[in-house]
């Protein structure tokens, strides 16, 4: 079967371009903690006022099977003594270090309470230290948090591919590429991902995400340029792995829609064929991508999906009734202004 012979012509076409203004609103979610300060008037409270050195305590990452201690100091800033009648701790893995209750805090003095976090399972944990007293400002709550981790010294997190190049993407359109996080040595908990660079975003994964040892978790990176020009970026994955953080680099370029099209034609094959396929690439000699979703019955084609500043390389093939395809034709070149 003889391949098609390809000719190329470049035409300028007028486009009615619709400009769409996009207002991108970024909502910064903020989560805060505050100590409950109920009014204890009418319950026998004196002029003493109890305050904690912190309204929240973070134990950070603690390996399963081990424990970590933290303390909170409570100060009587009033003019009369305060009696602390109870102190309780709630939340998985949290406990109060044994002490004598009740105890009295004289005016201007302080007392320290200590807690431990000994996680039995991997993942984030939350709890509360509740202190009850006859202070004028009532009961105090201190928020507790921590994360149970596996043996971080033996775990490794890798991200692949190490870099993603989106090439040229038309302004206002999007392109997706897939990546994956893999754990070795031990399971890894990925707590967050932060990315930068204009037009990039990450989806398909929820944090915190646990990656079992020897397995992978997929995610998707999207490039949606809003302006023309190159854009460099990266994604940083924080985890409890010994090599944290893991970083993936991103690159791509936004291009304006071209006002050109490429008209292609070729000689009909002298063999008995049922149609033709047309392929396009951005490197001489390939690789090429097929342009037509179904066989072309004619010997001409108009490619309107070209971008300014790009050179394209075209080849055609002929297909017979047995769906056998010929070798590529000669290569035709079109440089778009």
Closest CA to 312 of 331, 293, 328, 292: 331
The mean pLDDT value for 310-319 works out to: 95
DSSP character string of 51-80: EES-SEEEEEEEETT--EEEEEEEEE-SSS
Query: Taking a C-beta distance cutoff of 8 angstroms, is the pair 3, 316 a contact?
Result: yes
Q: pLDDT of 232-258, one tens digit each?
A: 999 999 998 888 999 999 999 988 766
Three-class HEC string of 269-328: CCCCCCEEEEEEECCCCCCCEECCCCCECCCEEEECCCECCCEEEEEEEEECCCCCECCC
> Which pLDDT does position 313 carry in this prediction?
97
Checking DSSP bridges between strand 246-255 and strand 163-170, what pairing results, if any?
parallel
Contacts of 28 (CB under 8 A, 6+ apart): none
Token duo for residue 189: 């908990």
Position of tokens 């100091």?
73
What pLDDT is stored for residue 44 in this prediction? 38
Q: For position 334, what pLDDT does the model report? A: 94
What is the average pLDDT across 315-336? 94
CATH architecture group of domain 50-149: Sandwich (2.60)
Q: Of 307 and 210, which is predicted with more confidence?
A: 210
Mean pLDDT, the chain, rounded, equals 83
Q: Which residue has the higher pLDDT, 57 or 154?
A: 57
Q: Does domain 258-335 bear CATH number 2.40.10.10?
A: no
Per residue in 217-235, pLDDT (tens digit) is: 999 999 999 988 899 999 9
What does the alpha-carbon distance between residue 58 and residue 139 come to, in Å, rounded to a whole number? Answer: 21
Say whether pLDDT at 165 is over 60: yes
Burial class (CB in 10 A: 0-12, 13-18, 19+), 90: exposed
> Mind listing the pLDDT tens digit for each residue in 89-104?
999 999 998 677 888 9
Beta bridge mates, 218: 180
Structural domain boundaries of the chain?
Answer: 50-149, 153-255, 258-335
For 332, other C-beta atoms within 10 Å of its C-beta total 20
pLDDT at 13: 41
Count of beta carbons in the 10 Å neighbourhood of residue 219: 21
Report pLDDT digits (tens) over 110-126.
Answer: 988 889 999 988 889 99
Q: Which two tokens stand for residue 197?
A: 């660079």
What is the β-pairing status of strands 209-211 and 163-170?
A: unpaired
Report d(CA 337, CA 225) in Å as an integer: 21
CATH number of the structural domain 153-255 = 2.60.40.10
Fold: same for 50-149 and 153-255: yes
């Amino acid at each position: 079967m003889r391949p098609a012979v390809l000719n190329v012509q470049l035409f300028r076409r007028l486009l009615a371009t619709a400009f769409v203004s996009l207002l991108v609103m970024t909502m910064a979610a903020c989560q805060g903690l505050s100590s409950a300060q109920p009014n204890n008037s009418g319950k026998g409270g004196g002029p003493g006022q109890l305050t904690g050195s912190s309204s929240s305590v973070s134990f950070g990452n603690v390996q399963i099977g081990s424990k970590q201690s933290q303390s909170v100091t409570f100060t009587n800033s009033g003019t009369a003594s305060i009696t602390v009648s109870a102190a309780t701790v709630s939340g998985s893995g949290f406990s109060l270090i044994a002490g004598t209750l009740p105890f009295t805090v004289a005016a201007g003095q302080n007392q320290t309470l200590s807690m431990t976090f000994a996680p039995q399972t991997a993942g984030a944990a939350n709890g509360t230290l509740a202190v009850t007293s006859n202070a004028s400002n009532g009961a105090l709550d201190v928020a507790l948090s921590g994360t149970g981790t596996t043996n971080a010294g033996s775990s490794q997190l890798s991200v692949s591919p190490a870099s993603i190049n989106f090439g040229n993407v038309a302004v206002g359109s999007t392109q997706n590429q897939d990546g994956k996080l893999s754990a070795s040595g031990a399971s890894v908990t990925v707590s967050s991902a932060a990315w930068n660079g204009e037009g990039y975003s990450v989806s398909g994964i929820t944090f915190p995400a646990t990656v079992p040892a020897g397995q992978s978790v997929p995610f998707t990176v999207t490039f949606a340029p809003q302006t023309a020009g190159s854009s460099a970026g990266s994604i940083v994955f924080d985890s409890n792995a010994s090599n944290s953080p893991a970083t993936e680099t991103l690159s791509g370029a936004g291009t304006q829609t071209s006002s050109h099209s490429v008209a292609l034609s070729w000689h009909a094959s002298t063999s008995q064929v049922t149609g033709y396929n047309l392929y396009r690439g951005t490197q001489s000699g390939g690789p090429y991508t097929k342009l037509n979703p179904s066989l072309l019955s004619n010997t001409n084609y108009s490619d309107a999906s070209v971008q300014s500043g790009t050179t394209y390389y075209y080849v055609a093939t002929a297909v017979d009734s047995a769906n056998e395809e010929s070798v590529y034709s000669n290569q035709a070149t079109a440089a778009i202004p």
